[in-house]
Amino acid sequence: MTDTDLIEQSFAIAWSVLERTGELGEPNWFANFLLDEIIERVRCGERHRLVLSNCAIDAYRHQSIKLVS
């Protein structure tokens, strides 16, 4: 699996989870945020789709709370 495939699949998982839970915000910002989180972890060596998507989801949820505070 290429890095591109890994990133695409991880993004799709994260997007799907947050869409189903009603947590999606502004789509362009949200997409960029998720991609940045996933790409950074791939650069650090992570290669597990679910770990990548879960980390992006957690970062998004943490960021959302931080913005509201």
pLDDT tens digits, 11-57 = 999 999 999 999 988 899 999 999 999 999 999 999 999 999 999 99
Helix ranges restricted to H, 1-69? 3-20, 27-43, 49-68
Please tell me the pTM assigned to this model. Answer: 0.88
User: For position 64, what pLDDT does the model report?
Assistant: 55
* Phi, psi of 39, deg, nearest 5: -60, -40
Structure token digits, residue 12: 């799709």
Domain that holds residue 7: 3-68
Domain tally, the chain: 1
